[in-house]
Amino acid sequence: MAAWFETVADAQRRARKRLPPSVYSALVAGSEKGVTVSDNTAAFAELGFAPHVAGLSGKRDMATTVMGQAISLPVLISPTGVQAVHPDGEVAVARAAAARGTAIGLSSFASKPIEEVTAANPATFFQMYWTGGRDKLLARMERARSAGAVGLIITTDWSFSNGRDWGSPAIPERMDLKAMMRFAPEGIRRPRWLLEFAKTGRVPDLTAPNLADGGAAPTFFGAYGEWMQTPLPTWEDIAWLREQWGGPFMLKGVMRVDDARRAVDAGVTAISVSNHGGNNLDGTPAPIRALPAIAEAVGDDVEIVLDGGIRRGSDVVKAVALGARAVMIGRAYLWGLAAGGQAGVENVLDILRGGIDSALLGLGLSSIQELEATSVIVPPAFRRDLGG
């Protein structure tokens, strides 16, 4: 029990103590001033509940489905790149998600091959950026299909702005001798983190094996350079890729009603209302503010998930009440992974499950399916109806 933590905030504190400063700053960083990063979490605090005191339900059902996958709670693992916070990286996360009955989104920039992740959790959605052109996209898609991925996520809102007022986190091109010498003082100050990698005989892997394309895996910055040189996708490109995949397909990064409608027209299965965790255009509002208008516009036509700022089970309940089928978490599970590996990620999912249960109990509901907009108190001027 000494390794157990009771809140996501506690997991974050432990992660900060355990990780080298450069690694930790990469987890919390947002673009420019960080207005969007802050609003992602602050917006949830503006929403309230009006609980009942008697006649409460003795049982609460949290199960739902997203892109054809049955999950035991409305929380999915969001794809995040290069998880150097723990040697087992995405494989540990996949195992934790499977143990808690949910699905994982695997980033193209993951540090573990998709074959290892799908072996750990068959409910794996493979996430792709529009990078490298159609031939490379098809090859990566087919590799994911062969590996057993059950859905595809396309992310088009990658970081267009990499300036940060507090400085961008230091990420080496590769962990060669020069980089190890440079970062040695940080590692020595975090001996437990260093020991975890030392036991494996490996240094943190900063390459992207799922972008190897039959050759050597590119570095993070090599892959970023490829993205910078690839023409940005059109709506016709999105529809084309969706058709090539032919299965469950999510478009991640939707913040506007008009974009949501275009996504429906393109035939996607799901959209993620997301601002890339505050790592794109600073000043973009929190996804929970944009969710109600999008849900009202297309909620009957497409599955909606929300990604951004989830730290508590009550946040999940608020998102579902305002129109999301489920949420995806990013920083929360990475802090759990840093704090305790697979068990730490399971711990985070358990915290969220407990918070969802408590909120449903207080609201007098027996299922997340009973949540609706009237389940939460939405103050005036909370919403941001973008592109309507």
Binding residues for glyoxylate: 129, 164, 276
Known catalytic membership, residue 86? no
Torsion angle of C-alpha atoms 94, 92, 218, 32, degrees rounded to 10: 90
Tally the C-alpha atoms within 13 A of residue 75's C-alpha that lie toward its C-beta: 33
H-state helical runs in 190-286: 191-200, 220-229, 235-245, 257-265
- Can you list the positions of beta strands (E) in 32-144? 64-66, 69-71, 75-77, 104-106, 124-129
**For residue 135, what are the contacts with CB-CB under 8 A and spacing of at least 6?**
none
Report d(CA 92, CA 343) in Å as an integer. Answer: 8
User: Cα(188)–Cα(172) distance, rounded to whole angstroms?
Assistant: 17
Please, which residues have CB within 8 angstroms of residue 24's CB and are 6 or more apart in sequence?
A: 15, 16, 338
User: In whole angstroms, what separates CA 271 from the centre of its chain?
Assistant: 13
Q: Which two tokens stand for residue 282?
A: 């600073």
Q: How far apart are CA 254 and CA 293, in angstroms?
A: 12
- CB atoms near residue 106 (< 10 Å): 28
Q: Tell me the two tokens of residue 262.
A: 């275009």
Evaluate whether 96 touches 340 at the Cβ level (below 8 Å).
Answer: no
Binding-site members for FMN are: 79-81, 107, 127, 155, 252, 274, 307-311, 330-331
Give the residue numbers of the binding site: 79-81, 107, 127, 129, 155, 164, 252, 274, 276, 307-311, 330-331
Q: Are 275 and 40 in contact (CB under 8 A)?
A: yes
Among 18, 276, 318, 353, which one carries the catalytic annotation? Answer: 276
- Cβ atoms of 40 and 286 within 8 Å: the answer is yes
Count other Cβ atoms within 10 Å, centred on residue 247: 13
The span from the CA of 103 to the CA of 245, in Å, is 19
Is 146 exposed, middle or buried, given 0-12, 13-18 or 19+ CB atoms closer than 10 A? exposed
Task: List residues with catalytic annotation.
Answer: 276
